[in-house]
Amino acid sequence: MSGATCPCGSGYQFETCCGKFHAGAIAPDAERLMRSRYSAYVLGLEDYLRATWHPDTRPAAIELDATPPPHWLGLAVKAHMPLDDNHAMVEFVARYKLNGRAFRLHETSRFERLDGRWLYVDGEIHD
């Protein structure tokens, strides 16, 4: 994705946005981690998704190889809510197409910082 705009919708180049987290940098807050996880879904980076998922809630398999895969269309962060130094919530809407139909995923996600790294815990899906 050299020189491309980041899939997370930040408007920044991928390398200076989510790409640096995919390469090993630590996300400074829950919103940046959530954006990098969205970009990982777009790019099919299952290892990154597993590495940034809380061990207590991480599924055995993420299975990004669905046929056909969703076509991710965009991300809108509605709110980033730090709760304390180690807990936060991020509300977002992700749009995608699957089998020619448009969908939107509206979720409030919970994050926890363990050993200095933010991790996705779980989320509440909104109608």
> Model confidence at 3, in pLDDT bands (50, 70, 90)?
confident
Domain ranges of the chain: 14-126
Q: pLDDT tens for residues 22-79?
A: 999 999 999 999 999 999 999 999 999 999 999 999 999 888 887 888 999 999 999 9
The C-alpha angle with vertex 26 and arms to 112 and 50, in degrees rounded to 5, equals 60
Instruction: Specify the CATH number of the domain 14-126.
Output: 3.10.450.50
In degrees rounded to 5, what are phi and psi of residue 21? -75, -40
112 alpha carbon, distance to own chain's centre:
14
